[in-house]
């Protein structure tokens, strides 16, 4: 009968292989986590822009009802943008809520180096964004929505501009984003 040598423990090579596999797995997991945060900034920015555009389009198509976006902070310091519809009797219904998490900075610039932390303002006031049903231009009753908005997680930025006169929302990409950064003194 053949006898096998009893194994008293792991060899140094086996331990190094296990440590290397754990290190590679951890590196991949950390990279994927960072990548998902980057996608989150852009996806949240796109969601917000699409929500603003949707409210504008609904108001233009349905002048007998009032569609508007109301922005405020929740208890976790997340920015909530709520889409409402209000009928002629004053009954309002919440249609949708878009949330920008507290981990993403939200600032607005009006003129060179004139930045405003949107969360600081929302802490004390909610803001309504209304659109003119005939022209599509936006109007507001609690501050000015006109400006360039920056969503920033410290690593990636998403930038869009709201133009009061026609109610349009313009998203900046690549070369236009470089020009905005230069104009507003952002690295």
Whether residue 76 is contained in a domain is answered as no
Whether residue 36 is contained in a domain is answered as yes
Domain that holds residue 125: 12-61+103-184
Please tell me the predicted confidence (pLDDT) of residue 182. Answer: 59
Please tell me the predicted confidence (pLDDT) of residue 94. Answer: 94
Evaluate if pTM is beyond 0.85. Answer: no
Whether residue 94 is contained in a domain is answered as no
Whether residue 120 is contained in a domain is answered as yes
Please tell me the predicted confidence (pLDDT) of residue 19. Answer: 95
Please tell me the predicted confidence (pLDDT) of residue 160. Answer: 80
Whether residue 73 is contained in a domain is answered as no
Please tell me the predicted confidence (pLDDT) of residue 142. Answer: 43
Mean pLDDT by 10 residues, the chain (187 residues): 69 92 89 64 88 88 87 86 90 92 82 66 73 71 66 79 72 62 58
Whether residue 170 is contained in a domain is answered as yes
Closest CA relative to residue 166, chosen from 131, 142, 140: 131
User: How many domains is the chain built from?
Assistant: 1
Whether residue 131 is contained in a domain is answered as yes
Whether residue 79 is contained in a domain is answered as no
Please tell me the predicted confidence (pLDDT) of residue 183. Answer: 64
């Amino acid at each position: 009968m053949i006898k096998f040598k009893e194994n008293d423990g792991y060899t140094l090579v086996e331990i190094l292989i296990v440590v290397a596999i754990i290190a590679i797995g951890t590196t991949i997991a950390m990279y994927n986590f960072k990548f998902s945060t980057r996608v989150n900034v852009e996806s949240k920015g796109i969601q917000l822009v699409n929500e603003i555009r949707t409210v504008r389009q609904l108001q233009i198509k349905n002048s007998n009802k009032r569609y508007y976006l109301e922005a405020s902070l929740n208890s976790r310091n997340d920015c909530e943008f709520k889409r409402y519809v209000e009928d002629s009797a004053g009954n309002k219904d919440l249609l949708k809520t878009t949330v920008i998490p507290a981990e993403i900075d939200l600032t607005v610039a009006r003129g060179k180096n004139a930045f405003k932390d949107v969360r600081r303002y929302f802490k004390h006031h909610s803001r309504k964004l209304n659109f003119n049903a005939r022209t599509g231009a936006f109007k507001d009753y609690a501050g000015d929505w006109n400006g360039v908005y920056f969503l920033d997680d410290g690593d990636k930025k998403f930038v869009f501009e709201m133009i009061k006169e026609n109610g349009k929302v313009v998203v900046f990409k690549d070369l236009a984003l470089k020009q905005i950064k230069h104009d507003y003194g952002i690295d």
